[in-house]
Amino acid sequence: MFNIDQILKSLQSDPNLKRTAITGAAGLAAGMIFSGGKPGKLLGNAARAGALAAVGGLAYKAFQNYQQSQSGQTTAREDAFIPPAGDEQAQEELGKSLVRAMIAAAKADGRIDAEEKEAIFEKLKAMPLSAEEKAWVFDELSSPLDINAVVAGATTPERAAEIYAASLVAISADTAAEQAYLEALAIKLRLAPQLVAEIHREAGENAPAATPTASPFAYTPSSNV
């Protein structure tokens, strides 16, 4: 069983990952996302309610606000964002989509060299995760940035909002490369600019400077991981 909370906890709590020297603003995918990104916006809630509930709750509230602003009412349902506790398959699929989105966002502006990557993988081996979980995280960390793979998890408008929310809270979004990535992601996810702005507001971030209105375009990272 893929356990997103256990993966988040393992990566967040490893002090060596936090101290690993990295190049670029995105930082070490594991350390930046789960300890140096925005702990107050995701990890605090995740510790209390679980990572899926933390991200899902953020996206759900933003979705409600967006619908209210458009029509004066909302049809958003919480269960469309947060799978019930008994639906392990849905939780696992969503968990993988969100972790993939977080790791991809961290790759948007930076480079992990071979020595640093080896150090990450050595620490990963020692983490209290199942063999299946380790293999999956290893693959995600080592593969090149693929925005289309991230978008593939957006099977519903609600999932699209959650994927964007997870990506936003995983990075600082204070560099041109990160901002360009988020803009490209919003467009590929077909999120309305007003909804994107609501997600930023709920995450405690300023609305993006450039409101995405064009057709989806190919994102080219500053360097590959």
- pLDDT, one tens digit per residue, over 24-80 is 222 333 333 344 344 344 444 444 457 788 888 899 999 999 999 999 999 999 999
Residue 125 confidence (pLDDT) above 90: no
- d(C-alpha 139, C-alpha 188), whole Å: 23
Class of residue 106 by CB neighbours under 10 A (exposed 0-12, middle 13-18, buried 19+): buried
Tokens found for residue 35:
């300890």
The structure's pTM equals 0.77
Average pLDDT, the chain: 74
More confident residue, 1 or 21: 1
In whole angstroms, give the CA distance from residue 123 to residue 20: 11
pLDDT digits (tens, 9 = 90+) for 170-210: 887 888 888 999 999 999 999 999 999 999 999 888 877 65
Question: What pLDDT is recorded for position 219?
Answer: 36
> Which pLDDT score, from 0 to 100, does residue 152 have?
96
d(CA 145, CA 130): 24
Percent of the chain with pLDDT over 70: 66
What was the pLDDT predicted at 85?
80
Q: How confident is the model at residue 5 (pLDDT cuts 50, 70, 90)?
A: low
Segments making up each domain of the chain, as ranges: 4-202
